[in-house]
Chain A
Amino acid sequence: MKLLYKQMTKELSKNYLSLVLILLLVSFTSFIYFFVHFSVDGNIAALQSLPSLKENEHLYLNALHSNAILARNMLTGSVILTSFVFYIFYHRFMKKNYKSLACLKALGFKDSVISSLFWAFTFILSVLGGLLGLIAGYFASDLLLKSGMKSYQMSGLVKRIHISSFFIGIFIPAFFFCIISYLTYLPVATKETALLLSSQTDTSTNPFLLAAANKLANFYPGKNKLSVRLALRKPLALILIILAVTAFSVMFLLAYSLHLSSEKIYQSQILGHHYLYDNLFDKPRLLEKPLPNSMPYLNTSGNIMTAKQAIQQEVIAFKNNSPLFELMDDKGNMLPGPTSGEIVISPALRDLYDIKEGHQIELYIHNHCKTFTVSAIAFNAKLNSVYIHPSDLEEMLSLPPHSYTGIWSIENISDTAKVISRYEKMDELEKNFVSNRISAVINQLVGCLIGSILLFLALLLNFQDNTKDILILDLMGYQSGAIRKMLLDIYKPVIYFIFSLGLWPSMQIVRFILKSLSLQIGDYMPFQSNIFVIGGIFLLLNFIYFIVQWTFNLGINKIIKSDALYQYSNNE
């Protein structure tokens, strides 16, 4: 048993570059989780044990919960991606080692004994990676704690993790990875030993797929049909590239969107909001004469009913746009105020609940229901607010004309109102976003790293599959440049093709993730993208490709120069 473990562990260790990358993937996976949970667990427990919470504590508790949700989602996504990488790694490993495995079976080793080696190896790798992520997460969580203290004026925050979080972050991923390693051994366990002995040890695919690859390659114009054919013959590796490029694009777009979402929201609350004070009254008042440098409005709380749920919104009504506040669209053009029967909504309602211009929606206010037509979507609408004509709101609230509950003004005009200055409003907005933004951005940066590693691995595995062909072509006298052109350079257009084809689906995935996160967390996070981001992704993909190619060329040159072709081919 010791010798069996020695043989297979050494064989696995030969793939050290892939293993290091997998270890990094596992580490980042757990890092994402622990980095958040070290700052969340202890503080949630502490806040929940308090008999009552102050406003800042309540806000902080919400932020902690939203961060925990984000971390859980990221952990789930990363575990799925890493599981696939484990699958590809072991699938290739098993195929390449069919003969050794068959030899061990012929020697009388049971499948349970041989497979135990793989899941034990996976378990150790996963736990090791998990612990590395835990240590890194412990130190990185200082960032979140500090931002929490600053943004929410919290003191006495603790860095602690609950035992269940420890198990979830370390052992749940390890459990899934072990299952994957066991599943990849199943073909070895179910195939008869003699058939394993006579199996091809390369990673070539079945004849049906080969024929399909050949047919597809025939559509490729030009003289590089052979390269295309060779690339298409490895569907699993191709799937990994598709997954890696898509994951990379998704992570990058998501990171960008999350990073800029708070800024966009912040901007939306400045644009067109020219008043310096918001004066709020307890009860509705009646406007007797126009007030200078001010804009009265009527507001209340209401619910918009959709087929699935009621969405709580602040309903605001004012007569006309004024220099103090004007509704604007996302291009900065002024929008006309709603007329009777019309409603102006925020982009959040459009993006999260799919309510569009021209839609009819039902608005409930104090048991009164009225149907409105969406007339416009105001980019600078106050968060969680909709706008209707004053006559509609007055009617629904049974108030006389010219009623108001608040005044936007340039000066602090009333000592009987609750007054929120522009500075206080912006400060409040910042508080709501800073913590989420930091955790989101760090998580997404790690996500980008995970995407990069995935892509690196995908290319590396493809290149490794071609090692034997490269060596044979070298023996046949091909120049290394020609070999590279024939076998490796094909992956560049493949990546470009997948990138351009996958860009739109990636954007839809990001939109979906942002929508889900916004609904779970309660903070609207709009999708953001521009030509520079797409260009950045493209450049980064090229850079990763270049690094992999350079690394791989080094390895190939080493094999060619060491004259180890015979040995390599035999070991294959």
Chain B
Amino acid sequence: MEAILKAEKIEKIFKQEKILKGISLEIMPNSFTVLLGPSGSGKTTLLNILSGLLKPSSGKVYYKDKAITEFSKNQLADWKRKNVSNIFQSYLLLNNLTVRENIEIGMFSPDNGLPLDELSHLLEIHHLLDKFPSELSGGQQQRVAIARAVIKKPDILFCDEATGALDENNSKKVVALLHHLKQSLGLTVIFVTHNLQIAETADRVITIKDGLIHQDKINQNPISAYEMIWG
């Protein structure tokens, strides 16, 4: 099977400090990969580069066989619109749009997306569709953010500390949902976290330390999200 995403010798320098020091990796389709590491290790920087939100100082990122690091700004925007999605720790919902509109804005074409009603039922937000983000709890907001990210059936879902602001129950629910969506929609999920328990649920765990891959491990026996023990 061919990798859906490939990074070659990625380096990133911020203010003369080398954050990433030449990372190469391949991500297989329909996998759940966790990028694990302590604060300041460079994992979020790597995720941002893989998702096209940041340009590397050197090195290349390939989506299938296309180098996205060579894309023009408009090509990159098209790629983001059609092929990938992001979920952020702080949800980043658009506060002036209702939940329904927040989800719809994630669709790049009305004909190509998942049915909104089905998706909202799956994420248990169907009763919130006419509410505004400010009226929702953190867990509900993150599920809306997930709905917005997956409604277009992206190939890759990039999650940056997606459970970082949630309590145990909501975190488990979100992780379970992401696994379910991976299975049902055939998504590839790349999840940045420093939470070892979330890493236990993944197919593969890449540990980043000091801007380098410290460990790259295939998880033979991933646990389910509800088996996670919250410390």
Contact = CB atoms under 8 A, between A and B. Distances in A.
A194 B53 contact: yes
A111 B73 contact: yes
A107 B106 contact: yes
Contact of B97 (A7, A567, A571): A7
A567 B73 contact: no
Interface stretch (A82-90, A98-106, A303-311): A98-106
Interface in A67-118: 99-100, 102-112
B77 A108 contact: yes
A103 B92 contact: yes
B104 interface: yes
Interface string B64-94: 0000000001100111111000101010101
Nearest to A571: B95
A571 to B, nearest CB: 6
B86 A6 contact: no
A87 B159 CA distance: 36
Nearest to B88: A197
A108 B96 contact: no
B134 interface: yes
A570 to B, nearest CB: 8
B134 A11 contact: no
B6 interface: no
Nearest to A12: B96
A150 to B, nearest CB: 55
A105 B97 contact: no
A549 interface: no
A263 interface: no
Contacts of A108: 77-82, 108
B3 interface: no
A109 B79 CA distance: 10
Contact of A194 (B54, B81, B94): B54
Interface string A181-224: 00000000000111101000000000000000000000000000
A368 interface: no
Nearest to B102: A3
Nearest to B74: A110
B101 interface: yes
A37 to B, nearest CB: 40
A239 to B, nearest CB: 28
Contacts of A107: 80-81, 105-106, 148
Interface in A1-17: 3-4, 6-7, 10-11
Given A192-B54, A192-B55, A106 B80 contact: yes
B96 A195 contact: no
Contacts of B86: 106
Nearest to B148: A107
With a 10 A CB-CB cut-off, give which of A11, A99, A103 has the most chain B CB atoms: A103
Interface residues of A, number: 26
A194 B105 contact: no
Contacts of A112: 74
Nearest to A190: B73
A414 to B, nearest CB: 84
Contacts of A110: 73-74, 77
Contacts of B77: 105, 108-111
Nearest to B80: A108
A322 to B, nearest CB: 81
A102 B160 CA distance: 14
Contacts of B81: 107-109
B34 to A, nearest CB: 19
A567 B134 CA distance: 7
A316 B74 CA distance: 76
Contacts of B74: 110, 112
Given A109-B81, A197-B88, A103 B53 contact: no
Contacts of A195: 54
B97 A3 contact: yes
A6 B108 contact: no
B30 interface: no
A106 B53 contact: yes
Contacts of B92: 99-100, 102-103, 106, 197
A102 B52 CA distance: 12
Contact of A11 (B52, B55, B96, B105): B96
A6 B48 CA distance: 28
Contacts of B148: 107
Contacts of B78: 108
Interface in B87-126: 88, 90, 92, 94-97, 101, 104-106, 108
Contact of B96 (A6, A104, A193): A6
Contacts of A192: 53-55
A6 B53 contact: no
Contacts of A102: 92
A103 B77 CA distance: 12
Contacts of A6: 96-97, 101
Nearest to B84: A108
With a 10 A CB-CB cut-off, give which of A3, A7, A110 has the most chain B CB atoms: A3
Contacts of A106: 51, 53, 80, 86, 92
B82 A103 contact: no
Contact of B48 (A3, A103, A194, A571): A194
Given A109-B77, A110-B77, A3 B101 contact: yes
A417 to B, nearest CB: 81
A171 B119 CA distance: 47
B105 A3 contact: yes
Contacts of A100: 92, 94-95
Contacts of A7: 94, 96-97, 105
A104 B82 CA distance: 14
A444 to B, nearest CB: 41
Contacts of B95: 11, 100, 571
B105 A193 contact: no
Nearest to A109: B77
A419 B61 CA distance: 95
Interface string A248-275: 0000000000000000000000000000
A10 B105 contact: no
Contacts of B82: 108
B220 to A, nearest CB: 33
B97 A193 contact: no
Given A106-B53, A194-B45, 20 more contacts: A3-B94, A6-B96, A6-B101, A7-B96, A7-B105, A11-B96, A99-B90, A100-B94, A104-B94, A107-B105, A107-B148, A108-B78, A108-B79, A108-B82, A112-B74, A193-B54, A197-B53, A567-B134, A571-B95, A571-B134
17 contacts: A3-B101, A6-B101, A11-B95, A99-B92, A105-B77, A106-B53, A107-B106, A107-B148, A108-B82, A110-B74, A111-B77, A192-B53, A193-B52, A194-B45, A195-B54, A197-B92, A567-B134
For the complex of A and B, the 8 pairs showing the least CB-CB separation, nearest first, are A108-B81, A10-B96, A194-B48, A108-B80, A194-B54, A194-B53, A193-B53, A103-B92
Interface of A: 3-4, 6-7, 10-11, 99-100, 102-112, 192-195, 197, 567, 571
